[in-house]
Amino acid sequence: MHRNEKDHFARLTKAVAEQRDQAAFTMLFDHFAPRLKSWLLKRGLNADEAEELVQEVMAVLWHRAALYDPARSSLSTWLFRIARNRQIDARRRASNRHLNGHEPLLHPLDVPGVDTLLESEERDARVRQALAEIPDDQMTLVQAAYFLGQSHSQIAASTGLPLGTVKSRIRLAFERLRRALQEPSSPS
């Protein structure tokens, strides 16, 4: 890819991110959608699956264009990485659709007794208390990773924090949670 072309795509992406520029998005879509579809077809997807994944990737471009950093990669690298990750996710979902009738999770469990319900409520209260004690700077990152589904790299890009800081804060939050849940509950 020529430097001018890379700069051109970066400018278009910035216009999408900052102004929701539909003309810029259309130009990006017209350039990348056919290339993504062709690449996905070569990776074994049928035409409908490839088209659906292309739509997902381009939707990510529209909604999360601000996460793209031209200093870190070309736009094509970023989009193809998203496509590859979405394909892997789709493959995992497809493999999970085949149910095994012997899977223990598919068989109903016995109705829990009162003591089990009380233990559950106590455990839930301890989890809520432990979560409330996690510092805001750590909890924000945990929420981005586990509730919004962002990768550590995406979190680093969106927050401006170094990747190592993101990872260590998330790890510290889970360590704090683990310690809080291992402590014996205090008598009421």
Going from N- to C-terminal start, the domains of the chain cover 3-96, 114-182
Question: Quick one: pLDDT at residue 4?
Answer: 82
Give the pLDDT confidence score for residue 59 in this predicted structure.
Answer: 94
Per-residue confidence (pLDDT) for residue 188, from 0 to 100: 47
CATH topology of domain 3-96: Rna Polymerase Sigma Factor; Chain: A (1.10.1740)
CB 36 within 8 A of CB 56: no
Per-residue confidence (pLDDT) for residue 11, from 0 to 100: 93
In angstroms, what CA-CA distances link 71 with 138, 140, 156? Answer: 27, 25, 14
Q: How far is CA 141 from CA 46, 145, 161, 171, in A?
A: 37, 6, 10, 10
Q: Give the pLDDT confidence score for residue 104 in this predicted structure.
A: 66
| Confidence at residue 45, expressed as pLDDT on a 0 to 100 scale | 86
Mean pLDDT by 10 residues, the chain (188 residues): 80 94 94 94 90 93 92 92 90 70 64 71 82 88 87 92 93 86 61
**Left if phi > 0, otherwise alpha if psi is -120 to 50, otherwise beta: which for 175?**
alpha
User: pTM (2 decimals)?
Assistant: 0.50
pLDDT of residue 56: 93
d(CA 153, CA 156): 5
Give how far the C-alpha of residue 44 lies from the chain's centroid of Cα atoms, to the nearest Å: 24
DSSP 183: S
pLDDT of residue 110: 64
For the domain spanning 114-182, the CATH number is: 1.10.10.10
